[in-house]
A and B are shown apart, each in its own frame.
Chain A
Amino acid sequence: MDGEHQQQPVLPKREVKGIRPWMRPTLLQRRRRAAPPPFFVRSKGNRREKRTRAHYMLGLALVNKQNLAEGIKALEKSLELGRGAHPASYMVEEIWQEFSKAKYIEWESLSRKRASQLDKLKITCKETLRNYTKFGNPDADEPEEQLNEVEEVFRKAAKTDTPTDVPDHLCCKITLDIFRDPVITPSGVTYERAVLLDHLQTVGKFDPVTRVALEPHQLVPNLAIKEAVHAFLSEHGWAYKIR
Chain B
Amino acid sequence: MAVFPRGTPLSSEIILTSLDSTPCGNGGGGRDGVAQQAELRRIEGNACFKKARLGAAIDCYTEASKPLPVSGTLPFPVQRSSLVLACDSCTAIALCPDVAVYWMNRGLCHFRRKDWTKVEEDSRRALALDDTLVKGHYLLGYAMLEKEEFPLAIKEFEKGLNLLKSTNSAANMIEDMWQVLAKAKYLDWEQHSTEQVWRMQSLKEACENALQEHHFLSGTLAEDSDGSTDEYSEQLKLLSEVFTKATLADTPTDVPDYLCCQITFEIFRDPVITPSGVTYERAVLLEHLRKVGSFDPVTREPLKEHQLVPNLAIKEAVQAYLKEHSWAYRLN
User: Contact residues of A with B, CB < 8 Å?
Assistant: 117-118, 121, 124-125, 127-129, 131-132, 135, 137, 139-140, 146, 149-150, 152-154, 156-157, 159-160, 167-170, 182, 184-190, 220-225, 227-228, 231
Interchain residue pairs with CB less than 8 A apart (26): A121-B235, A121-B242, A124-B211, A125-B210, A131-B210, A131-B213, A132-B213, A137-B206, A152-B246, A153-B200, A154-B242, A154-B246, A159-B245, A169-B313, A186-B309, A188-B309, A188-B312, A220-B273, A220-B274, A224-B273, A224-B278, A225-B311, A225-B317, A227-B256, A227-B257, A231-B256
Task: Report chain B residues within 8 Å CB of A150.
Answer: 203, 207
- Is B258 an interface position by the 8 A CB rule? yes
Chain B contact-residue range equals 35 or more
- Is B320 an interface position by the 8 A CB rule? yes
User: Given known contacts A137-B206, A156-B245, A220-B275, is B314 in contact with A128 (CB within 8 Å)?
Assistant: no
Which residue among A146, A168, A188 has the maximum number of chain B CB atoms within 10 Å of its CB?
Answer: A188
Whether B206 contacts A224 by the Cβ 8 Å rule is no
- Is B243 an interface position by the 8 A CB rule? yes
- Is B271 an interface position by the 8 A CB rule? yes
In the bound complex, what is the Cα–Cα distance between A54 and B210 (angstroms)? 56
Interface membership of chain B positions 128-161, coded 1 if the CB is closer than 8 angstroms to chain A and 0 otherwise? 0000000000000000000000000000000000
User: Given known contacts A132-B206, A153-B203, A224-B273, is B258 in contact with A231 (CB within 8 Å)?
Assistant: yes
Which residue among B207, B238, B243 has the maximum number of chain A CB atoms within 10 Å of its CB?
Answer: B207
Q: How far is the CB of B156 from chain A (nearest CB, A)?
A: 28
Whether B277 contacts A225 by the Cβ 8 Å rule is no
Whether A118 contacts B242 by the Cβ 8 Å rule is yes
Whether A182 contacts B313 by the Cβ 8 Å rule is yes
Whether B277 contacts A117 by the Cβ 8 Å rule is no
In the bound complex, what is the Cα–Cα distance between A160 and B246 (angstroms)? 10
Task: Report chain A residues within 8 Å CB of B273.
Answer: 184, 220, 222, 224
In the bound complex, what is the Cα–Cα distance between A91 and B243 (angstroms)? 44
Partner of B210, one of A129, A153, A231: A129
Q: How far is the CB of A142 from chain B (nearest CB, A)?
A: 12
- Is B17 an interface position by the 8 A CB rule? no
Interface membership of chain B positions 267-284, coded 1 if the CB is closer than 8 angstroms to chain A and 0 otherwise? 000010111111100000
Task: Determine the residue in chain B with the shortest Cβ distance to A152.
Answer: B246
Task: Report chain A residues within 8 Å CB of B200.
Answer: 153
Partner of B206, one of A139, A157, A186, A223: A139
Whether A227 contacts B258 by the Cβ 8 Å rule is yes
The 5 closest A-B pairs by CB, nearest first: A169-B316, A132-B210, A227-B258, A156-B246, A128-B210
Whether B242 contacts A223 by the Cβ 8 Å rule is no
Task: Report chain A residues within 8 Å CB of B256.
Answer: 227-228, 231
Whether A225 contacts B313 by the Cβ 8 Å rule is yes
Q: How far is the CB of B87 from chain A (nearest CB, A)?
A: 51
Task: Determine the residue in chain A with the shortest Cβ distance to B214.
Answer: A128
- Is B69 an interface position by the 8 A CB rule? no
Whether B242 contacts A188 by the Cβ 8 Å rule is no
Partner of A129, one of B207, B243, B312, B313: B207
Task: Report chain B residues within 8 Å CB of A167.
Answer: 317, 320
Partner of A157, one of B245, B258, B259, B276: B245
User: Given known contacts A125-B239, A169-B313, A186-B309, is B211 in contact with A222 (CB within 8 Å)?
Assistant: no
